[in-house]
Amino acid sequence: MMSKTENSEAVEFAFGKKNYLFMGLGLVLIVLGLVLLAGGGSEDPAEFSEEIFNFQRMTIAPVIMLAGFVLEIYAIMYRPKSID
């Protein structure tokens, strides 16, 4: 029977530290975009509120969320340069 020390192999993860850092930052951007999209409704459901069409909800929030998704794709595709 072989002991663990004799049969130990180096475990390599699919992603490196930078990949996880970029993924976390992308997730933060996506959540920030969702927070910026929230709100804008009126207290009375029978009353229409123009607040839902402000610049923050129509432009800033989608751009921030898109940047988060692009960063997530970059984090998945990022491959560190190997030193040979």
Q: Any alpha helices (H) in 1-84, and if so which ranges? A: 17-37, 55, 61-77
66: its two tokens: 């898109």
**What is the arithmetic mean of pLDDT over 66-76?**
97
**Segments making up each domain of the chain, as ranges:** 17-77
d(CA 23, CA 76): 8
Whether 67 has a pLDDT exceeding 70, the answer reads yes
Q: The pTM is what?
A: 0.78
- What integer pLDDT is reported at residue 75 of this predicted model? 95
* pLDDT tens digit sequence for 1-60: 555 555 668 888 788 899 999 999 999 999 999 999 998 777 888 888 888 899 999 999
Whether 82 has a pLDDT exceeding 80, the answer reads no
